[in-house]
Structure 1
Amino acid sequence: MLTFYHGPHTRSSRIVRLLIEMDILEQVDVRVVGLVRRGGEGAPDPANPHPEGKVPLLVHDGEMIRESNAIILYLTDLFDSPLGVPVGDPLRGPYLSWLAYYGNVMEPVLFCSFAGIDHPAMQATFRGLDEMYARLAEALTDRPYLLGDRFSAADLLLVSAFTFAPQLVPDIPAIRNWVDRCGDRPSTAKLEHFESRLTGNSAAE
């Protein structure tokens, strides 16, 4: 049994979008839980088994899978999805690298930008926005998606940062067009509808 602990309009929304893209949303028990949100609103929810009270969290037959990139890899492997890349495929390495790049480089760089943190140690370890943009632009030059001609879960994960903070989309055609291309997929509207319905139900309760 698959249970997904979710907070609408948070990082976990990209996992819901993945479930929609994979056409497995109906196979997963999505449970909305309370959270401590930015600004201090809200409170930890005892119904959320995440040890830090966060989302996303996937539970499969009693075992917890945390962190977006781990959940994405787990689901695309579990369901042998075309959004993932199987072991033995030449693109498996780039796929895993992009999933790791998001958590190991991209999110720290974006967080520091949001927080106004500029320290030599951060630059030495993660580089900065300019280097991140250059890496993405290089990967997307002359190709529609990070792995080539097909949209993958790597695109879904990395583009979620720009969906959340569109002001960070740089004036670089390769990146801007990629963001638009990913946003034009039917899963974008389906996710918005799903989130609105969840929010409405939560408000009614």
Structure 2
Amino acid sequence: MLELYHYDHSTAAQKIRIALAEKHLEWTSHHLDTSVEKREHFSPEYLKINPRGIVPTLVHDGKAIRESQVILEYLDDAFPEPPLRPASAYDKARMRLWTKLVDEALHVHSRIVGMCIVVRHAKAAAGPVELEKYLKEMPETVRERNDRVNLEKGLDSPLLPESVAYFKKVFEDMNAELAESTWLAGDTFSLADISLGVYVTRLKSFQMAPLWEHMTHLNEWYGRFIARPSYEEGVIKWGDKTTAKRKSYGMEAFGKVSELWNAG
């Protein structure tokens, strides 16, 4: 039995739902309310299976698997057909160079960008008392510290320029790679495409797509990615209750983010 603890617009959860759809697996949904007010991901029950208090967590026959990149590899080991890793050792290495980026820095930078552009508005709306409870309940001090800075400074956060520059470099590298192959790790769709594709979705939801409109190969690849039935199942089907706010706040932030993007 497969169970997934997740929430709708989490990039990390989107990856897992896409992979589950690619493998045509049935699973039970446990949708968590991660709002400042509810904080279900900080509940004692959830912290028992994920001490970091983050989503997603996959539970397979009673055993918890944490961290989205680890879960993706686990799914391909536990349910090898159809495979989501390339056949050749070389292409597997190419794939892992991309997925390695997510754990090394990309996911952290994604949180910083999202917090500075959009999320700070939603969290601030909960009021200072609830927000302070939310921050103090965070199991991880580094994440709490970063969030405090970004909530206070917003688009003027000292952390934002590095994060925007990092995304620009990754997108440029992806565009160059995709000039030579259909997918990020060769000619077959893989965990690399799932792992990186959802971050393009995230930035597009913030109305940032004009920043990379000239990256032809990246945009064509993204078109292939979102055309897959698994994207419909893993992303579109779950919706995003923050869509309107992402669009509005993203449009407000575009000038500043564009300035940072073009600074390098």
TM range (shorter): 0.7 to 0.9
Higher helix share: 2
Find out whether 1:153 has 2:191 as its counterpart. Answer: yes
8 Å CA contact 1:7, 1:35 repeated in 2: yes
- State TM-score, norm by structure 2: 0.62
Mapped partners of 2:164, 2:70: distance in 1:
20
Find out whether 1:3 has 2:3 as its counterpart. Answer: yes
Change beyond 3 A, Cα 1:58–1:32: same
Mapped partners of 1:92, 1:138: distance in 2:
18
Q: CA deviation at 1:160?
A: 0.5
3-state SS, counterpart of residue 91 of structure 1: helix
Q: CA deviation at 1:64?
A: 2.2
Q: 2:73 maps to which residue?
A: 73
CA RMSD of aligned residues (A): 2.8
Q: For 2:238, give the aligned amino acid.
A: E
Find out whether 1:178 has 2:178 as its counterpart. Answer: no
Q: CA deviation at 1:144?
A: 1.9
Q: CA deviation at 1:69?
A: 0.8
Identity of aligned residues (%): 26
Q: 1:42 maps to which residue?
A: 38
Partner residue of 1:133 out of 154, 171, 174 = 171
Change beyond 3 A, Cα 1:131–1:193: closer
Q: How does 1:1-205 map to 2 (within 5 A)?
A: 1-11=1-11, 12-24=13-25, 26=26, 28=27, 30-37=28-35, 40-44=36-40, 45-48=43-46, 49-81=49-81, 82-85=83-86, 89-114=89-114, 115=116, 116=155, 117-118=157-158, 123=162, 128-166=166-204, 167-169=207-209, 170-171=212-213, 172-191=215-234, 194-195=237-238
8 Å CA contact 1:8, 1:32 repeated in 2: no
**Higher RCO, 1 vs 2 (CA within 8 Å, ≥6 residues apart):** 2
The answer for unaligned runs of 5 or more in structure 2 is 117-154, 240-264
**Which structure has the bigger radius of gyration?**
2
After TM superposition, what 4+ stretches of structure 1 lie above 6 angstroms from structure 2? none
Q: How many residues align?
A: 188
Q: 1:200 maps to which residue?
A: none
The answer for unaligned runs of 5 or more in structure 1 is 197-205
Mapped partners of 2:5, 2:235: distance in 1:
18
Q: CA deviation at 1:173?
A: 1.0
- State TM-score, norm by structure 1: 0.77
Q: For 2:34, give the aligned amino acid.
A: V
8 Å CA contact 1:102, 1:157 repeated in 2: yes
